[in-house]
Amino acid sequence: NAGVTQTPKFRVLKTGQSMTLLCAQDMNHEYMYWYRQDPGMGLRLIHYSVGEGTTAKGEVPDGYNVSRLKKQNFLLGLESAAPSQTSVYFCASSYGAQPQHFGDGTRLSIL
């Protein structure tokens, strides 16, 4: 039972490039979330999903898109990466009003 798995663990991009971060959970959770963590800041919610085929904006959604085509996967896309998107990205999942389980993060640098 792997829990929440994030792919890749590290990535370096050039400004303007695009990429997709993958989050997979094997706990049959309905809810999934993407957060970003910057130095000296807590985690901030980017987008979330309350079920397959649904997505919603969080606190800092600009510059990101998401998709939840399968219940177990939640994808975060950067269409045109900017240096301000250099961050550590965390995915989480939960079942109903139960605690959120986090992955170990994707460290993304944009040059």
Instruction: Provide the binding-site residues for another protein, judged by CB under 8 A.
Output: 4, 31, 33, 35, 40-45, 48, 50, 56, 58-59, 90, 92, 94, 96-105
Rounded Cα distance, 48 and 28, in Å: 16
Nearer to another protein, 28 or 40 (CB): 40
Nearer to another protein, 35 or 75 (CB): 35
Contact 55, 47 (CB under 8 A): yes
The two beta strands, 87-94 and 101-102, are antiparallel
| Dihedral sign from CA coordinates of 35, 57, 109, 77 | positive
CB of 58 to another protein, least distance (A): 6
CB of 16 to another protein, least distance (A): 29
